[in-house]
């Protein structure tokens, strides 16, 4: 059940606080040739190319360089993505395992589950909301095995605290996302439970593909007072379409990712993905230096104070909403 799982994550967060494939199938940033003698390969895999992923990976590489692992000097990065196609996950995982890397950095729950079935190579995971619930690891504090990493889990209560301050009259909350994504399915269940706890009516709006975005949002007109979107790669890859369609329908959006407020969302709320990449780089360096991944606790954004929230005052005014002093004080930033 989602609600018990959220309670578990909350408790653990408190504790932690104290391919050589065809180019039409996958897109890659580096080939699969063996590295020169003395250089260790670090494989980086993700499903799609998004700005938050680019920022995360750049910070990951920069932190490794700070720890002495410099691309072209003593390590070689091999980076590939699945071109946004979930059907390519298995192909991508097999391709990256074939690189014979010293370490894999994998972004996304389903991709990490694929690696868990294929290799004992140390894996640092990222953009993985509920690694315990997904069956990736048994425990956040003691992952065990050959994997650890960072979670982008944010307590659903945090999203709803901001949402209710921004849209105090909201009674119906649309929960949008591609429930085929493990992260999204987990979040929507948790969001629905939190909404009911606050006597709000959750309205689920599944979006299997980007082609379903416009009709899904249009169907919400008159049925939802605000749209809440968590960490969902399908919607994030088409955020401009999501925000414009919702605005045209007269529905404000609370969107995962602080940068989304600058694109027209009422609130952009999410982890600092760049800083999570830096944390992941530190974890990777620890593993490369001999530390066992299973002995390294998973890093959570709330425990590391890496949650960012930006409110767009101009967007609020366009919906007849006022940014209260309480909301302004709570937010990381208020923009126009």
Q: Give residue-wise pLDDT tens across range 174-227.
A: 999 999 888 788 899 999 999 999 999 999 999 999 999 999 999 999 999 999
What are the extents of the domains in the chain?
Answer: 2-153+272-295, 156-271+307-335
Inter-axis angle of helices 89-97 and 109-118, nearest 10: 50
**Band of the pLDDT at 148, cuts 50, 70, 90?**
very high
The mean pLDDT of 142-168, rounded to a whole number, is 96
Q: What is the C-alpha separation between 63 and 139, in angstroms, rounded?
A: 26
- Write out pLDDT tens, residues 286-309: 999 999 999 999 999 988 889 999
Contact yes or no for 253/315 (Cβ under 8 A): no
The gap between the terminal CA atoms of the chain, to the nearest Å, is 39
Average pLDDT value for the chain? 90
Contact yes or no for 81/49 (Cβ under 8 A): yes
Beta bridge partners of 46: 81, 107
Q: Closest Cα to residue 151, out of 323, 22, 9?
A: 9
Whether 19 shows a pLDDT value over 50: the answer reads: no
Q: Do domains 2-153+272-295 and 156-271+307-335 have the same CATH topology?
A: yes
> Quick check: helix, strand or coil at residue 178?
coil
Whether 28 shows a pLDDT value over 60: the answer reads: no
Q: Closest Cα to residue 178, out of 267, 109, 93?
A: 109
Residues 6+ apart with CB under 8 A from 116: 123, 136, 147
Q: Residue 274 — φ and ψ, nearest 5°?
A: -65, -45
More confident call, 14 vs 134: 134
- Write out pLDDT tens, residues 237-271: 999 999 999 999 999 999 999 999 999 999 999 99
Report DSSP state, residue 71: B
pTM of model > 0.85:
no
Contact yes or no for 233/42 (Cβ under 8 A): no
> Quick check: helix, strand or coil at residue 328?
helix
The length of the chain in residues reads: 336
Whether 5 shows a pLDDT value over 60: the answer reads: no
Residues 6+ apart with CB under 8 A from 11: none
Tell me the C-alpha to C-alpha distance, in Å, between residue 151 and each of 62, 148, 283, 323.
Answer: 20, 10, 13, 30
Whether 18 shows a pLDDT value over 50: the answer reads: no
Whether 26 shows a pLDDT value over 80: the answer reads: no
**What integer pLDDT is reported at residue 29 of this predicted model?**
44
Six token digits for residue 281: 């780089």
If one looks up domain 156-271+307-335 in CATH, what number appears?
Answer: 3.40.50.2300
Contact yes or no for 126/150 (Cβ under 8 A): yes
- Write out pLDDT tens, residues 52-65: 899 999 999 999 99
Q: What is the C-alpha separation between 54 and 120, in angstroms, rounded?
A: 26
**What integer pLDDT is reported at residue 85 of this predicted model?**
86
Fold classification of 2-153+272-295 is Rossmann fold (3.40.50)
Whether 233 shows a pLDDT value over 80: the answer reads: yes
Query: How many C-beta atoms lie closer than 10 Å to residue 250's C-beta?
Result: 12
């Amino acid at each position: 059940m989602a609600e018990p799982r959220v309670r578990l994550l909350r408790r653990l967060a408190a504790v932690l606080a104290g391919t050589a494939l065809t180019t039409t199938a996958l897109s890659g940033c580096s080939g699969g040739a063996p590295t020169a003698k003395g250089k260790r390969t670090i494989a980086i895999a993700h499903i799609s190319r998004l700005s938050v992923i680019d920022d995360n990976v750049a910070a990951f590489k920069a932190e490794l360089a700070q720890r002495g692992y410099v691309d072209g000097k003593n390590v070689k990065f091999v980076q590939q993505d699945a071109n946004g196609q979930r059907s390519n996950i298995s192909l991508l995982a097999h391709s990256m395992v074939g690189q014979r890397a010293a370490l894999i950095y994998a972004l996304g729950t389903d991709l990490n589950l694929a690696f868990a079935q294929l290799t004992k190579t140390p894996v640092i995971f990222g953009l993985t909301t509920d690694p315990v619930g997904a069956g990736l690891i048994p425990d956040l504090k003691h992952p065990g095995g050959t994997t650890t990493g960072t979670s982008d889990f944010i307590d659903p209560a945090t999203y709803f605290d901001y949402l209710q301050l921004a849209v105090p009259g909201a009674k119906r909350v649309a929960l949008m996302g591609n429930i085929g994504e493990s992260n999204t399915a987990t979040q929507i269940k948790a969001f629905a439970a939190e909404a009911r706890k606050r006597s709000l009516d959750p309205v689920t709006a599944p979006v299997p593909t980007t082609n379903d975005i416009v009709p899904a949002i249009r169907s919400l007109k008159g049925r939802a007072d605000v749209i809440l979107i968590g960490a969902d790669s399908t919607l994030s890859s088409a955020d401009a379409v999501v925000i414009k369609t919702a605005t045209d329908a007269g529905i404000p959006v609370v969107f995962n990712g602080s940068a989304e407020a600058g694109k027209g969302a009422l609130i952009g709320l999410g982890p600092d993905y760049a800083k999570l990449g830096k944390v992941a780089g530190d974890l990777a360096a620890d593993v490369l230096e001999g530390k066992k991944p299973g002995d390294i606790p998973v890093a959570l954004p709330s425990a590391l104070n890496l949650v960012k929230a930006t409110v767009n005052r101009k967007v609020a005014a366009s919906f007849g909403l006022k940014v209260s002093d309480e909301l302004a004080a709570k937010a990381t930033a208020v923009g126009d």
